[in-house]
Amino acid sequence: MQIVIFFVLMFLSIAYFSHEVYCRYRYTRLGKPEDRNSNPRLRWIRFFKSVFFQKKINKYPLLGLFHGFIMWGFVILLLSTIDMAGLGLFQTGIPFFTNNVGYLFIRDAFIFLVLVGIFGFLIRRLFFRPDWLHNSFKAYAILLLIFIIVLSELLYYTFLATLEETYISATPWLVLSFSKLITFNNNTSIYMLIEMSWWVHFLTIFFFFYIIPRTKHLHFVFAPFNVYWSSLKPLGSIKTIDLDQQNQQCFCLKSFEDFSQKQLFDAFSCVLCGRCHGFCPSERSGERLKPKKINGRLRTQMEQDGPKLLKTHSQRADIKVNKENQVSLQNKMVGGMFHHDFIWSCTTCGSCNEVCPISIDHLGKLIDMRRAIVSEKKDVSTEIKQVFSGVEKHGNPLGKVRGQHDETSWIKALGIPTLAQNPDAKYLFYIGCQATFDKSSQKSVISFAKILQIAGIDFAVLSDKEWCCGENVRRMGNEILFQKTVNKNIAYWAQLGIKKIITACPHCFNTFKNEYPQFGGHYEVIPHSVFLADLWRQGKLKSSQRRQPTKITYHDPCYLGRYNQVYQEQREMLSNIPGLSFVEMPRAREDSFCCGAGGGRFWTRKNDKNPISIYRVREAQATEAERVITSCPYCYTIFMERMDDTDFGKKMITQDIAELVESYL
């Protein structure tokens, strides 16, 4: 009878689990198809790094150990669970394993390590919980269930070892230690305890099968596949829309099936850990954006409307039912489930994508939502419309007519040739919109141009022929205008024979490096900070003046650091300039906190009262440095504005890295 009950319960639990998982997988297949199987070798390498070696989780060593203990414990103890089933049902375990000293030692070791991991997570939640990690009954319930599964297994083998007739000569250390604590010799009681611990173990496992599909622990199933199918493109490369397809002229998001299959798969893979919350500058500064809720809401939507949509896709579906379902599914995404403030709060800094241990793409979903808003031409703010109009008509987000604002006078004053005057120049120095028209930001490109002249670099500029790279309009959702801008630039630059580009703006750098190739624009692109560092390392730049010791700190621009992993070159140069004392901010390199200007928010900052920059400037002030150095005109302008606030505390000098270097030559 025991055998029958066991197999009935096992069949029901596994059948239910499989059905629920398969249904959710089918919901993801309702999304738009996407090829995520290219370059399997690179995908498997990433898979092993992220899943088996837990690359991102191990960034926090203690947390990584706890998670690794439990994850690998489940894998190793699977054999032990099968062995338990055989012993309990048929009085025989797995051949070569039941009495194998090596395996029994490993089994005991992982029982112990899983228990350590459980208590480690429990202590963390109770006493050392980061503010982005939310406590919930489900989280504690899952820890309790894992504890019961492992403890019942330990007790089963412990009670088994106390029976003389079934005593295993190879009884391992943990079981043996626990068996010595059993002081009574009543075999009937011990048999009863063996039976009880056996049933507790398997009933808990069967219950686990029931709750997994309805909790965040569904990531046990979905997350490994999600890592394998994650994008192989750089973080700074946004998905391109084929505008030649007629149905792509409107990027509508009226139901979850308008997202891609991978974007929907993300939702069921999410473990709700909250890391994306903890590193999101918008969420940290009290704005409406909550990255974790993107996947949570999508999952809720799929579980709610997935069955209806599956019916509408069925050939047997009744037309009347289809219409009723379609009405209930309309207008639930942009502006409904995701409020406009939620969508436009994103700075596209990429922190959420960077820290996610299972490679969820939050950023891509937000960009697609912006595309939907812009495409439908509803609820687009005046500031955003002005940016689009300025780029389309005048080639810059400010909407200024080139040649009428004295923006190129410094080029003539320094005697810098244009490409028309020096068509064979080795490098194009692409200045960028902000540094072209903003007098404060212009200081950095003037300094950099002087340094290039000192180093004898053969370069030229486009001057008033320079057109916006299109980065801002793409991040703000206007894909059509972006592609028009890109194609215009590529065609013009092909006539000029441009091959190598130096940029003073990380946003331009990322766009030319990672996005222009999608349209046939292949260039060697170098950020000005890296070019400076190379000149310094080659000995072409030398400090010729003695200065008082100056303490500085460096802010990593998101589009240079997180997007393109450019961290070390600037630091090596700054550390080697005589008289400079370099100190890091607590959040630096890949953990750098955004200035708040990305994603087009630089152009809406006057009205949205962007609080993100306040946090970053205060972090810079906390280092007690005299100067904050950056390599981005947007970061530079934001910091300058905040430093000028009368109630903002200690003033710091804000400088672009080129300004600093030039002042020491």
Say yes or no to pLDDT of 183 above 70: no
Strand order in the sheet with 580-583: 580-583, 550-554, 627-630, 653-656
Q: Report CA-CA distances (Å) from 255 to 49, 242, 243, 298, 541.
A: 34, 21, 21, 10, 57
Alpha carbon distance 361, 374 (integer Å): 21
Residue 246: predicted pLDDT:
47
**8 A C-beta contact, residue 121 and residue 144:** no
More confident residue, 287 or 466: 466
- The single residue listed with the structure tokens 């692409």 is 430
Please say whether the dihedral angle defined by the alpha carbons of residues 111, 14, 204 and 185, taken in this order, is positive or negative. Answer: negative
> Which are the contacts of 404, defined by CB distance < 8 A and separation ≥ 6?
none
Average pLDDT over residues 74-98: 85
Task: Assign 645 a pLDDT band (cuts: 50, 70, 90).
Answer: low
Tell me which residue of 535, 531, 349 sits closest to 445, measured CA to CA.
Answer: 531
Q: How far is CA 123 from the centre of its chain?
A: 27
Summary mean pLDDT of the chain: 87
Residue 170: predicted pLDDT:
52
Q: Report CA-CA distances (Å) from 44 to 55, 265, 428.
A: 14, 18, 39
Helix and strand element counts for the chain (H, E): 29, 8
Tally of CB atoms within 10 A around 25: 16
Supply φ then ψ for residue 170, to 5 degrees.
-95, 25
Residue 184: predicted pLDDT:
66
Half-sphere exposure of 348 (CA within 13 A, CB side): 30
Tell me which residue of 181, 52, 175 sits closest to 103, measured CA to CA.
Answer: 175
Task: Assign 173 a pLDDT band (cuts: 50, 70, 90).
Answer: low
**8 A C-beta contact, residue 291 and residue 283:** yes
Task: Assign 330 a pLDDT band (cuts: 50, 70, 90).
Answer: very low
Q: State the alpha helices, DSSP H only, in 57-136.
A: 61-90, 101-127
Task: Assign 98 a pLDDT band (cuts: 50, 70, 90).
Answer: confident
Task: Please give the model's pTM, rounded to 2 decimal places.
Answer: 0.89
Tally of CB atoms within 10 A around 23: 15
Say yes or no to pLDDT of 434 above 50: yes
The DSSP 8-state label assigned to residue 58 in this structure reads: G
Residues 367-393 pLDDT 10s? 999 998 998 887 888 999 999 999 999
Half-sphere exposure of 71 (CA within 13 A, CB side): 18
What is the C-alpha radius of gyration for the chain, rounded to an integer number of angstroms? 30
Task: Assign 180 a pLDDT band (cuts: 50, 70, 90).
Answer: low
> Which are the contacts of 574, defined by CB distance < 8 A and separation ≥ 6?
552, 554, 580, 582, 629, 657, 660
Tell me which residue of 356, 333, 183 sits closest to 276, measured CA to CA.
Answer: 356
Tally of CB atoms within 10 A around 27: 26
Residue 632: predicted pLDDT:
96
DSSP 487-522: HHHHHHHHHHT--EEEES-HHHHHIIIIIGGGGT--
Backbone region of residue 438 per phi and psi (left: phi > 0; alpha: psi in -120 to 50; beta: other values): beta
Could you tell me what percent of the chain has a pLDDT over 90? 55
Residues 121-130 pLDDT 10s? 999 988 888 8
Alpha carbon distance 587, 133 (integer Å): 19
Residue 607: predicted pLDDT:
61
Q: Which of 12-26, 43-57, 198-212, 448-462 has the lowest mean pLDDT?
A: 43-57
Average pLDDT over residues 225-231: 93
Residues 515-529 pLDDT 10s? 999 999 999 999 999
Say yes or no to pLDDT of 664 above 90: no
Identify the structural domains of the chain with CATH numbers, from first to last.
Answer: 2-26+39-228 (1.20.950), 246-376 (1.10.1060), 397-535 (3.40.50), 540-663 (3.40.50)
Residue 176: predicted pLDDT:
67
Tell me which residue of 600, 610, 632, 560 sits closest to 391, measured CA to CA.
Answer: 600
Angle of helix 137-162 relative to helix 61-90, nearest 10 degrees, comes to: 50
Q: End-to-end alpha-carbon separation of the chain, Å?
A: 89
Alpha carbon distance 301, 265 (integer Å): 13
Q: Give me the count of residues in the chain.
A: 665
Residue 507: predicted pLDDT:
97
> Which are the contacts of 320, defined by CB distance < 8 A and separation ≥ 6?
none
Say yes or no to pLDDT of 450 above 80: yes
* 3-state DSSP assignment of residue 460: strand
Residue 647: predicted pLDDT:
59
Alpha carbon distance 594, 356 (integer Å): 17
Q: Report CA-CA distances (Å) from 196 to 54, 189, 192.
A: 36, 10, 6
**8 A C-beta contact, residue 562 and residue 634:** no
CB burial of 231-244 (b: ≥16 within 10 Å; e: otherwise) equals eeeebbbbbebeee
Tell me which residue of 512, 546, 510 sits closest to 664, measured CA to CA.
Answer: 546
> Which are the contacts of 63, defined by CB distance < 8 A and separation ≥ 6?
57, 124
Average pLDDT over residues 52-75: 87
Alpha carbon distance 357, 334 (integer Å): 27
Angle of helix 2-28 relative to helix 61-90, nearest 10 degrees, comes to: 140
Residue 288: predicted pLDDT:
84
Average pLDDT over residues 491-505: 96
Residues 567-602 pLDDT 10s? 999 999 999 898 899 999 999 999 999 999 999 999
Average pLDDT over residues 250-262: 82
Say yes or no to pLDDT of 566 above 80: yes
Say yes or no to pLDDT of 164 above 60: no
Residues 396-417 pLDDT 10s? 999 998 877 788 899 999 999 9
**8 A C-beta contact, residue 525 and residue 501:** yes
